[in-house]
Amino acid sequence: MKTTTYKVAEQLDKATLVDFYRQMALLRVFEERAAEQYMLGKIRGFLHLYIGQEAVAVGAIHALGRDDYVTTHYRDHGHALARGLSVNAVMAELFGKATGCSKGMGGSMHLFDASLNFAGGYAIVAGHLPLSTGMGFAFNYLNDNRLVATFFGDGALNEGEAHEVLNMSALWNLPVVFICENNLYGMGIPLSQSMSNTQLHKMAESYGIASAQVDGMDVLAVREAAETAVQHVRSGNGPYFLEARTYRFRGHSMADPVLYRSKDEEAEYRKLDPIAQYGEWLLSSKMATQKKLDAISAEVEKQVEESIAFAEESPFPSPEDLYRNVYAQLP
């Protein structure tokens, strides 16, 4: 971590600060175990791991209110867990079981929880940006001071509809926090080979949107930057664009042999592991002892282990479920 003092560290209590570590550790263990389950054939299809990016979801989502909406892309397990979805329900969804958060109907890329206002992972790159802008539109229309935080990758900024809604969110002053998780690669293409302007937050400025860039490996920096974003939006100043520079330690998905970047580069970024650096900060600021951190690690391991057992034991959806929820009924 930088030796900056974090304003937010003074505003939040110790329990909350230590809990950021727990949340990130949970996300990390969950993804690692999900990868194992994938190799065992328990999870199939696509699996996009959030390993390395934990600080962004944990730091940003903590700045939101309960009534705010969260939407995200297909690399969504981290956001779902940071938002508070049950570990059991997420693992069961990955296993395609009826006890999954989307009843086994969505899978890895389509995690939903209406009670937590978690409006989904999304499988079409940039597709959820207009949806999120629409939710912001609804909140303005209803005049209720809610906002929507939408997470997306660097690659999404090449889709036309991302630009369509950057324009409209600014034009109509909509309460949207755009959080770009710039992990420097769109699948296998490095940023410099797909973007004419690699300072992504500057793109937002061209639409008249307030923006900032933050170190996405530093959970307190993210938390602080998200606070600024949320205050801006909630004060009726329109959208905000936060570019979080981060890195995924694994491939784009489980199918990715990662031939497009060097092991040296990966090693350099692993030195910036958000969980390791935050652990060091907690120790050096005397917020936690090594014993405490070890206990947390053991606790989240156990939680994820139990979720795997839960998922294993849960039933598959029944054959009748095939035709359920194609249409909504009039109340």
**69-71 and 185-186 strand pairing:** unpaired
How many CA atoms does the CB half-sphere of 306 hold within 13 Å? Answer: 11
**240-245 and 176-182 strand pairing:** parallel
Please identify which residue in 32, 35, 46, 110 interacts with other proteins, judged by CB under 8 A. 110
Please identify which residue in 72, 132, 246, 314 interacts with other proteins, judged by CB under 8 A. 132
Please identify which residue in 91, 165, 170, 304 interacts with other proteins, judged by CB under 8 A. 165
Nearer to other proteins, 52 or 121 (CB): 121
Phi/psi for 160 (5° steps) reads -55, -40
Contact call for residues 316 and 104 (beta carbons, < 8 A): yes
Name the residue with tokens 């050096």.
284
Site for other proteins in 90-109 (CB under 8 A): 100-106
Please identify which residue in 123, 258, 272, 287 interacts with other proteins, judged by CB under 8 A. 123
Phi/psi for 176 (5° steps) reads -120, 130
CA dihedral 112, 113, 118, 119 (to 10 degrees): 50
Is residue 328 part of the contact set for other proteins (CB under 8 A)? yes
Is residue 326 part of the contact set for other proteins (CB under 8 A)? yes
Contact call for residues 220 and 18 (beta carbons, < 8 A): no
Residues 6+ apart with CB under 8 A from 232: 210, 240
Nearer to other proteins, 112 or 281 (CB): 112
Is residue 167 part of the contact set for other proteins (CB under 8 A)? yes
As measured in angstroms, the least distance from the Cβ of 275 to other proteins is: 31
Is residue 129 part of the contact set for other proteins (CB under 8 A)? yes
Is residue 124 part of the contact set for other proteins (CB under 8 A)? yes
Contact call for residues 47 and 250 (beta carbons, < 8 A): no
Is residue 138 part of the contact set for other proteins (CB under 8 A)? yes
Which helix (H) or strand (E) is 296 found in, with range?
Answer: helix 290-313
As measured in angstroms, the least distance from the Cβ of 83 to other proteins is: 14
Is residue 114 part of the contact set for other proteins (CB under 8 A)? yes
Is residue 239 part of the contact set for other proteins (CB under 8 A)? no
As measured in angstroms, the least distance from the Cβ of 308 to other proteins is: 21
**148-153 and 185-186 strand pairing:** unpaired
Site for other proteins in 63-92 (CB under 8 A): 69
As measured in angstroms, the least distance from the Cβ of 116 to other proteins is: 11
Nearer to other proteins, 54 or 113 (CB): 113
According to DSSP, the residues that pair with 242 across neighbouring strands are 179, 212
Contact call for residues 94 and 307 (beta carbons, < 8 A): no
Alpha-carbon distances of 309 from 87, 108, 260, 293, 305, rounded to whole Å: 11, 18, 36, 25, 7
The residue range among 158-166, 215-223, 225-233, 307-315 that interacts with other proteins, by the rule CB under 8 A, is 158-166
As measured in angstroms, the least distance from the Cβ of 267 to other proteins is: 38
Contacts with other proteins, residue ranges (CB under 8 A): 69, 100-106, 110, 112-114, 119-120, 123-124, 127, 129-139, 141-142, 148, 160-161, 164-165, 167-168, 171, 324-331
